Structure 1
Amino acid sequence: MTTAIDIDVGGTQHCETTALGVLLRHQGLDLSEPMLFGLGSGLSFIYWDSKNMGFPFLGGRVKPFDLTRNLATSLKLDLLAQETASPRKAWENVVAPIDAGHPVGLQLDSYYLDYFGSKVHFGGHFVAMYGYDDHDAYLVDTDQQGGAVSTSLANLAQARAARGPMSAKHRSFTLTAPRNPPHPQSQIIPAITACADAFLNPPIANLGHRGIDKAGKLVRTWLQRTDNPQRDLPQAALLMEKAGTGGALFRNLYRDFLAECTELLDSSHLRTGHELYSEAATLWTATATLIAKAGESGDAQCLVQAGTILSDLSRIEHEAMQALNRLEE
């Protein structure tokens, strides 16, 4: 027997905003993917490397689920999030809302999902689940992964139970909009300034504009950092451009969010931020291209160039966030 909710899939690029879009459209709130990302103060930067990692990781967004929490606070949504160590309880937490007609967001490890092309462990992946039968779960994932898809219940259970970096214990969540939600436009400035403040004042040197500057210095050593540069450098570049980031390490999404905001609010600071993030997005794509080329050719000069661009990006994004931080003035 099949239980499924009628949902609007919508075409999107990034996993967490894809899941959020499904849940919110079901509540009658239809916002663009860039607007969801921006209102969730989703943009960030992290240079992550440690002894147990095969290769450094460049991240362009806040931690998994922080975007959802931020968005719920911004739009006064009732966020019910549940975690458990019990697979049985985890399944009950999903079935109950779906049986009641509400899609559910899930955080899981994409490695185990039947339809996933690239078999890489990533515990910070999100999907929306809208139905199930005796064998399969019906999910919505990004356009890149097929949009409306399905996976076996056994593999879904494995994906939800997985442990490791960025994973959560069978996390599931629902969102409920209040009767009179605040107009999204009224939440734009607080969301932008919160994002800018975190970016400008990182607690450690690996984050925000300081992290980009650090990446600019360390990326020059990447050919020595791995015994398989032909695999690891193109993979790092692919993650920046194609792995659900919307391109340019989430800078395309944030640029488009700021563009949407300039149509709603008249602010020279906002226009400055948008112009600088348009420039930054282009430079991030150029950086990814150089990193991939360095891995394929073994040419260290490509990494020197990438390092120079990253040092420019640190300055450009710092300037952009300073302008955006002045929106409340």
Structure 2
Amino acid sequence: MAFLSIERDSSAFVVTGFQHFGGQHCETTALRKVLAFTGQHYSEPLLFGLAGGIAFVYWWTKKMPRPFVGGRNGRFPDFIETCARRLGASLDLTRTNRSRKGYENLKDVLRGNQPVVVYGDIAELPYFATQRHFGGHAFVVYGLSESENCVFVSDRCEQPCTVTIQELAKARGASCPPFTPRHSLLRVVRNEAPSDMATSVREAIRDSVKSLRSPPIRKLGLPGIKTFADDLSIWPRRLTPEALPFALTDTFINLELAGTGGGAFRRMYAAFLREAKQWIDAPRLDDAISHVDMAAAHWETVAKAFLPDDVPALRRCRELLVKRNRLFEAQSEDAQASMEDINERLREAMSDAILDSTLSSELLEHAREKVLACYALEGLASSLLAEVCESEAVNQASHEVRP
């Protein structure tokens, strides 16, 4: 019914021909939609792999209340711009600290009948129903009506969503370090079919291998996984008993939910490698895929170790988080109310999850063992991926010198 009134609304800017669909990771889902609008259709795992694929980050500065753990390679805007470049596309990025300017930039793109990728804090988007801040979230805006105070949003959930103009502005202008959106906006300015997908795939795999095996600091890549494991013993000293459950749930969310596709993004990356077989032929590629699959399963075990079955309150937290994520992804008519109900039950479970020092130390030591197992497996997987890159380089050189 909203679209019937929009058609007669002179203050409305609605992109015609835009198709909504869901996805796994916010940035690759958003990019996939705006590229599809221009006529270029790709799978989400392919976009994820070309953007940089997997790596690891363990980050905890003095200004952060608790640590951040992530499994993706690349920050904004490098991640999404690299993917576009490897596909023969160009993106125009605009940023501003002024809300009015950010809104005018958005309307300018919509007036040109183009969907636009924007960034915002999920805590300010009502359809997330969360108080957890993350300002690096990407989604597509494909229309708005000023008279109805309605913005049409296409996120990674199954159904499109709506927010008010004020809610969108608050999300886009939120201050939530280290991921502050600054009214960022991305639009496609050129989109051509890739001229050499094999080269793009090879470059992307090399990037992931380099990020895992040769990171600039020990908080990243394979050293970052080891640092993560080693730091778990000091969590009870750096976090109060009341704060520790939030660190445990954050870690579970960042590894298993939050748009990772499962297994700290390794599920998506294994799917990318399978798709890559149509462009590259390397003897160790199947072995690499198998090890990335195993790494994904191990990371799922790691995530569960932070909210284990043998601590009933933490198990309830895990079950409620998974249920809330399913409700978010489905976005049925009563999803927001159901998620708010889960939030209340989560608060109760979190209150019950305050652990004594002995139990918290035992839990974190068990998690540490799981992380170290992942560390060993990721080392093997990255070695195999390095061999894939080396064999492909040899194959490419041999083709180049043929008469």
Give your verdict on TM over 0.5: yes
Larger radius of gyration, structure 1 or 2?
2
Q: How many Å separate the matches in 1 of 2:138 and 2:192?
A: 27
- Partner residue of 1:259 out of 274, 285, 297: 274
Amino acid aligned to 2:81: R
Partner amino acid for 1:197?
A: K
Q: Does 1:9 align with 2:20?
A: yes
Post-superposition Cα deviations, 1:229-275, rounded to whole Å, max 9, x if no partner, equal 33431332123211111111111111221122235433223222211
Tell me which of 157, 175, 179 is aligned to 2:169.
Answer: 157
CA 1:260–1:302: 2 relative to 1, 3 Å: farther
Shift of residue 180, structure 1, vs aligned partner: 4.5
Aligned-partner Cα distance in 1 for 2:51–2:39: 18
- Shift of residue 281 of structure 1? 0.4
Structure 2 residue 172 is the aligned partner of structure 1 residue 111: no
Name the SS of the counterpart of 2:307 in structure 1: helix
Aligned to 2:156: 142
Is contact 1:27–1:176 with CA below 8 Å preserved after alignment? no
Cα distance in 2 between the residues matched to 1:292 and 1:70: 35
Is 1:199–2:209 an aligned residue pair?
no
- What is aligned with 2:261? 246
Counterpart pick for 2:54 among 43, 53, 62: 43
The CA deviation at 1:46 is 0.7
- Partner of 2:113, secondary structure, is coil
1:305 aligns with 2:366: yes
Aligned to 2:32: 21
Given that 1:107 and 1:171 are in contact with CA atoms closer than 8 Å, whether structure 2 keeps it comes out as yes
Q: Which moved more, 1:72-81 or 1:279-288?
A: 72-81
Cα distance in 2 between the residues matched to 1:65 and 1:242: 22
**Aligned with residue 280 of structure 1, among 275, 295, 299:** 295
Partner of 1:320: 381
Partner of 1:56: 67
Aligned to 1:69: 81
Unmatched segments (≥5 aa) in structure 2: 1-8, 315-352, 395-403
**Per the alignment, do residues 109 and 231 of structure 1 end up closer, same or farther by CA in structure 2, a change over 3 Å counting?**
closer
- Tell me the TM-score normalized by structure 1: 0.92
Check conservation: 2:120, 2:174, Cα contact below 8 A: yes
Supply the distance in 2 between the matched residues of 1:179 and 1:19 (Cα, whole angstroms).
18
Give SS of 1:176's match: strand
1:131 aligned onto 2:149: no
Q: Report deviation, 1:279.
A: 0.7
Distance 2:69 2:385 in 1: 23
CA RMSD of aligned residues (A): 2.0
Aligned counterpart for 1:172 among listed residues 179, 185, 191: 185
Deviation at 1:142, TM superposition (A): 1.3
Shift of 1:301: 3.0
Q: Would the alpha carbon gap of residues 186 and 204 (structure 1) be closer, same or farther in structure 2, given more than 3 Å must change?
A: closer
Q: Give the superposition deviation at 1:179.
A: 4.2
Question: C-alpha displacement at 1:114, in angstroms?
Answer: 2.2
What is the CA–CA distance in structure 2 between the aligned matches of 1:180 and 1:278, rounded to whole Å? 30
* Letter in structure 2 aligned against 1:304: E
Name the SS of the counterpart of 2:231 in structure 1.
helix
Q: After superposition, what is the alpha-carbon deviation per residue over 1:206-241, rounded to whole angstroms, capped at 9, x for unaligned? A: 000000011111124434442223343133212321
Post-superposition CA distance 1:166-209 (Å, at most 9, x none): 11321101123444432544421111112211221111000000
Once the two structures are superposed, the pairs formed by residues 283-294 of structure 1 within 5 Å of their partners are 283-293=298-308
* Contact 2:21–2:156 (CA under 8 A) maintained in structure 1: no
TM-score (norm 2): 0.76
CA distance in 2, matches of 1:263, 1:182: 15
Q: Is residue 216 from structure 1 mapped to residue 251 from structure 2 by the alignment?
A: no
Q: 1:215/1:36 Cα in 2 relative to 1: closer, same or farther (>3 Å)?
A: same
What are the superposed Cα offsets for residues 278-318 of structure 1, whole Å, 9 maximum, x if unpaired? 11000001011111126837433332232122222222222
Taking a change above 3 Å as real, the CA distance of residues 103 and 57 of structure 1, as seen in their structure-2 partners, is same
State how far apart, in whole Å, the 2-side matches of 1:263 and 1:307 are.
38
Q: Distance in 2 between matches of 1:179 and 1:275?
A: 33
Secondary structure of 2:20's partner?
Answer: coil
Query: Following superposition, which runs of at least 4 residues in structure 1 exceed 6 angstroms of deviation?
Result: none
